[in-house]
Every structure is written in C-alpha cells, then in structure tokens.
Amino acid sequence: MPFANLKVPAGTLTPESKKKLSDAVVDAYASVYGERARATTLVVVDEVVDGGWNLGGTILTADLLGRS
C-alpha cells in the first residue's frame, strides 16, 4: 500500500485544500504505480503547531516565517 505522510503548518489549509492536496498525492502515486494503487493509497496530513518545526537548529515560528 502506498503511503504518504504530509506535514503542514497548522491552520494553513482549509478542508477543501487538504482534499485537493491529498487527491494530488493519490494521483501522483497512481501515475507511477498504475490505477491499481489508487484504491490503496493512504495519505495522512498532519498539522504541525506553531513552533513545532526545527530547521538546522532554528525553531520556525509564524513570526519568523512572516505568516503572522
């Protein structure tokens, strides 16, 4: 079963945009593995809370990223 775990900043996606993103990932797997993979592809979208990211030792926040 193909599996994708996507991490996104909390509060940045609407339910509609999460579905669009998930559908795009399923489409990508199906384009590589064939249509047989579509029914068994699992996509999990995890929302990471502000300050829950660390890049090179720096905690990434909405303020640092200019999203606040």
> What are the residues whose beta carbons fall under 8 Å from the beta carbon of 5, sequence distance 6 or more?
43, 44, 46
Beta strand 42-48 pairing with 3-9: parallel
Confidence check: pLDDT of 65 > 80? no
Least-confidence region, from 3-7, 8-12, 16-20, 44-48: 8-12
**Architecture of the domain defined by 3-65:** 2-Layer Sandwich (3.30)
**Averaged pLDDT, 48-68:** 87
**Averaged pLDDT, 47-60:** 93
**Averaged pLDDT, 31-60:** 95
CB 10 within 8 A of CB 48: yes
- The mean pLDDT value of the chain amounts to 93
**Averaged pLDDT, 8-36:** 95
